[in-house]
Amino acid sequence: MLSLFSDRSSERNVTPMNGAWPAIPYEAWRESCEALHLFSQIVGKYRLANTPWQNHSWQATLYVSARGLTTGLVPDGNEDAEIVLDLVDHKVRAFTAAGGDGGFDLEPMSVRHFHERFIALLDELGLSSRFSARPSEIADGIRFADDTRLRAYDRDAVNRFFRACVSIDRTFKRFRTGFLGKASPVHFFWGSFDLAVTRFSGEVAPLHAGGIPALPDEITREAYSHQVSSAGFWPGAGSGFPAFYSYAYPAPEGFAQARAMPEAAYFDGQLGEFILPYDAVREARDPEAMLLAFLQSTYEAAADLGGWKRKELDCEMGQPRRPRRI
């Protein structure tokens, strides 16, 4: 099956659209990235506080949309609302099913200022403004109301990050169609600030050790209750540069020594994950084919070494208007 997703960039005369895979060097926008991370946590915590718990914390995530990152529809008492981090016009937008709407500009500001403006927006629309006051998955995180340092906000860099996420989201969603088993949505985790998609073998996993900063162990253990192969994208905080990652939990014997595609991919022993630099994908003649090769080859390593029932779980990738063959 891997041959279907091998690095076809060498076989096809494909020129990537620069706008679809823009340059996003981490150090050039690191401070703006850190600000957006914290702003997204505040929005995400609103969704988390109002949405019934779903397996593996899937109820808490954000999603890539045509405008930026969205909560999707959030049940808030007798109202339903959506919050959007609009990374095109650089605004926070809030909408209610009853017709209410409001927002404010995304610009250089402190986390405290963002928090205050977001609370005021929720109050203005009659929405619940009670949610966790501290960041998650950040060691020694400062309470939102106490974080008064002025944060950068580079509109161009933020928009380039968003456009990269659109292309990645599209490719992850295509990869997701090649699996009949349980799979997560393609979703954005505001705690770790990464876009991710996860496949499940159906087998129960060993109890996770936990230990993630500012995240209760009971949440981590529930998230990793079953055997997974998971892949995602960091803008830089996890690796120091924008990169794709892929890991297995529990990692089967021999996983670190498995061959991942393309040649630019490698196993990082400290992280315990396969890494593919974003720039290698961006500069390829066929970025999507290269990324699919990475996703498929690392999944196959996890599944084959982990004893997954691939004949029952795998399928060809979906095509528009074409039902599955049975």
Residue 67, C-beta contacts closer than 8 angstroms, at least 6 positions apart: 84, 86, 87, 88, 89, 93
- pLDDT value for 1: 39
Is residue 8 classed exposed, middle or buried when 0-12, 13-18 and 19+ CB atoms within 10 A define those classes?
middle
Cα 104 to Cα 122, 125, 160: the distances in Å are: 11, 13, 21
Residues sharing a CB contact under 8 Å with residue 7, sequence separation 6 or more, in sequence order: 261, 262, 263, 284, 289, 290, 293
pLDDT at 5: 39
Per-residue model confidence (pLDDT) at position 141: 93
Helix (H, G, I), strand (E, B) or coil at 234: strand
Dihedral sign, Cα of residue 158, residue 163, residue 165, residue 168: negative
Residue 308 region, left (φ>0) first, then alpha (ψ -120 to 50), else beta?
A: beta
- The answer to whether the Cα torsion of 266, 233, 45, 42 is positive or negative is positive
CA distance 238 to 167: 20
With the CA atoms of 144, 89, 190 and 168 taken in that order, what torsion angle do they form, in degrees rounded to the nearest 10?
-160
Q: Mean pLDDT by 10-residue block, N- to C-terminus, for the chain (326 residues)? A: 39 53 97 98 98 97 98 96 98 98 98 98 96 94 97 98 98 98 98 97 97 95 97 89 98 98 97 97 97 98 98 96 86
Residue 281 near residue 21 (C-beta atoms within 8 A): yes
Structure confidence at residue 238 (pLDDT): 72
State the residue for tokens 């599209």: 170
Residue type for 165, please? C
pTM, entire model: 0.93
Contact 58, 184 (CB under 8 A): yes
Task: Estimate to the nearest angstrom the gap between the alpha carbon of 206 and the chain centroid.
Answer: 24
The single residue listed with the structure tokens 């998955």 is 137
